[in-house]
Amino acid sequence: MAKAAKTAIKTKDQKAAAEAKNWSKVVKAVRSPKTGAYMFKEAIVHKDKVKEFLAQK
pLDDT tens-digit series, residues 15-29: 877 888 899 999 999
Q: Is the whole model's pTM more than 0.85, yes or no?
A: no
State pLDDT tens for residues 25-49: 999 999 999 999 999 999 999 999 9
- CB within 8 Å of 29: residues ≥ 6 apart: 38, 39, 40, 41
